[in-house]
Amino acid sequence: MKILRSRISFLLLLSIFDRRASSAFEKPYLCLQRRKQKMQLSKIDTEGRSASNVPTWCPEQQIYIGGVVPENAEVKSLIEKNDGFLRLFGYGSLCWNPGTGALAKPGVIGSLGRARGYKRCWAQRSTDHRGNPKFPGIVCTLLEDKEVYETRKMATNEIEEINQPTMTEGIIYLIPPDLVDECLAELDFREKGGYARDVIDVVEDKSGETHKALLYRGTPENPAFWPRALLDLPLAAAIMSVSEGPSGKNDFYLNSLDKFLTDTHTIYAENDDTTSLASMARSFQENNQLFFSLRVWLKSAQSTFVG
């Protein structure tokens, strides 16, 4: 009975905090995102593409339709300057799961490297990989230091500006010319859950050289961005401890990335929330019956009894 009372108290506290904190953290972002979604939907033509020929966001599935993500003119210029070669920075699942497509083919070289001035943030909803539209999972994105500062400032004014650029560890892939188009097509579809192409500075661990590289990231303006997850790590960990999608369980994604960071023994991991989130997620799984997990079970049981 003692354990049961403890769990019930935890569920009530989590439920109350979720309702109160959600309003304070999300109102500015939700209003902005709803306006943007309405503007996008007003442009969609009968073929499912927008009239201005830009990627179309589907609010129901919470993905870019057809895997057409926002373009970046810098990417084409970057490829031309490098004689057809392309560097790609992976910071999430690409660190431990490049897939079986273009990135896994001979000729692609991967090496450890860092993104300068960007922080890995677990603040991107996932409905096509680690969750679903009814219960989105949470995956990571890279935010510029100033974006992290502005997001946190919305919740509290008691935050110091970042003086030194954050260094985030990942993998730099060097893709040969004959695989670039194939790779881009695969990645556009893989990252259709709110991500867009960007070009950033990366530093190779071994040589110390700085290069320009393609980056897929979800900015604070993208429709799947969820600032609450960045500001409330226990809630993010709780969701990841139970969420599951077409690509598998959310905690597997989290733990796999945590293992990558641990195995590389990076000195930059102190600026990363991944290990803390993995530890919290395991604690929830071992010690608590979460409210939303219990709610799903009760709904399932109710439909069984009624049927």
10-residue averages of pLDDT along the chain (307 residues): 42 41 43 43 37 76 90 92 97 94 95 95 96 96 94 76 85 97 95 95 95 97 94 94 96 96 73 92 84 49 37
Does the residue 204 lie in any domain? Answer: yes
Does the residue 279 lie in any domain? Answer: yes
pLDDT at site 158 = 62
Does the residue 53 lie in any domain? Answer: no
- DSSP line for the chain: -HHHHHHHHHHHHHHHHHHHHHHHHHHHHHHHHHHHHHHHHHHB-TTSSBTT----EETTTTEEGGG-PPP-HHHHHHHHHTTT-EEEEE-SGGGT---SSGGGSTT-EEEEEEEETEEEEEEEEESSSSSBTTB-EEEEEEEEHHHHHHHHHTT-S--PPP-SPPEEEEEEEEE-HHHHHHHHHHHHHHTTTT-EEEEEEEEETTT--EEEEEEEE--TTSTTB-HHHHH-HHHHHHHHHH-EETTEEHHHHHHHHHHHHHHHT-TTGGG-SHHHHHHHHHHHHHH---HHHHHHHHHHHHHHHH-
Does the residue 27 lie in any domain? Answer: no
How far is residue 203's CA from residue 182's CA, in Å, rounded to a whole number? 25
pLDDT at site 271 = 73
Does the residue 25 lie in any domain? Answer: no
pLDDT at site 268 = 60
How far is residue 45's CA from residue 56's CA, in Å, rounded to a whole number? 10
Sign of the C-alpha dihedral, residues 86, 91, 96, 99?
negative
Does the residue 158 lie in any domain? Answer: yes
How far is residue 272's CA from residue 245's CA, in Å, rounded to a whole number? 24
pLDDT at site 156 = 74
pLDDT at site 38 = 42
> ∠ CA(21), CA(22), CA(27), 5° rounding?
120
Does the residue 268 lie in any domain? Answer: yes
What is the extent of the structural domain holding 129?
68-288
Domains in the chain: how many in total? 1
How far is residue 139's CA from residue 122's CA, in Å, rounded to a whole number? 6
Q: CATH no. for residue 215?
A: 3.10.490.10
Does the residue 45 lie in any domain? Answer: no
| Residues known to be catalytic | 191
- Token pair for 146: 């100033």
pLDDT at site 223 = 94
